[in-house]
Amino acid sequence: MIEHKANTLPSEAFAVVDFPRSLLEFQRRFPDDAACAAYLAETRWPEGFVCPECGHGKAWRLDTKAWTYECSRCHRQTSVRAGTVMHGSKLSLTVWFWAAYLMATHSNGMSARQLWRQLGLGSYKSAWLLAAKMAIKPASYKMLIAPEAAG
């Protein structure tokens, strides 16, 4: 039986118990954009979709815009990204979730350069924007994967 080494640096420890505890668990929970979107929708509308404009409960998913609902009464379009740090970003939900996971599990945070390498992003600017947006509101990225922990 292999014992885990106790001399792990604090920055490498997973400090927050509500988060997925391992990369494997995280990957099982959020394997693709659909899983991430479903999670966001469930977190936001636990009782089913509610239009933020008129409060109507019926909407359809648009084919032309990813993970966007259109209210069947007032026709307002609402993305699962709306009101989150991901709003207006072209990066996939999966990338955001991975970035959130990495930043949340490294107590000293992650530099843009580290995110860039770890996530294999094409442009360094994307990584920089990602890190900058999350740095402004730490709670908002923690909310991505653990709403109850974000307070």
Residue ranges that bind Zn ion, judged by CB under 5 A = 51, 53-54, 56, 71, 73-74, 76
**Least distance (Å) between residue 69 CB and Zn ion:** 10
Q: Which is nearer to Zn ion, 79 or 105 (CB)?
A: 79
Q: Which is nearer to Zn ion, 51 or 86 (CB)?
A: 51
Q: Which is nearer to Zn ion, 12 or 53 (CB)?
A: 53
- Residue identified by tokens 């977190």 is 43
**Least distance (Å) between residue 77 CB and Zn ion:** 10
Helix (H) or strand (E) holding 111: none
**Least distance (Å) between residue 82 CB and Zn ion:** 13
Q: Phi and psi for 18 in degrees, rounded to 5?
A: -75, -20
CA distances from 102 to 17, 21, 84, 86, 127 (A): 15, 12, 18, 16, 13
Query: Is-contact 131 118, C-beta < 8 A?
Result: no
Q: Which is nearer to Zn ion, 32 or 53 (CB)?
A: 53
**Least distance (Å) between residue 85 CB and Zn ion:** 24
**Least distance (Å) between residue 71 CB and Zn ion:** 3
Type of residue numbered 33? D
Strands 68-71 and 77-79, by their bridges, are antiparallel
Structure-token pair, residue 44: 């936001």
Query: Is-contact 87 141, C-beta < 8 A?
Result: no
Q: Which is nearer to Zn ion, 51 or 127 (CB)?
A: 51
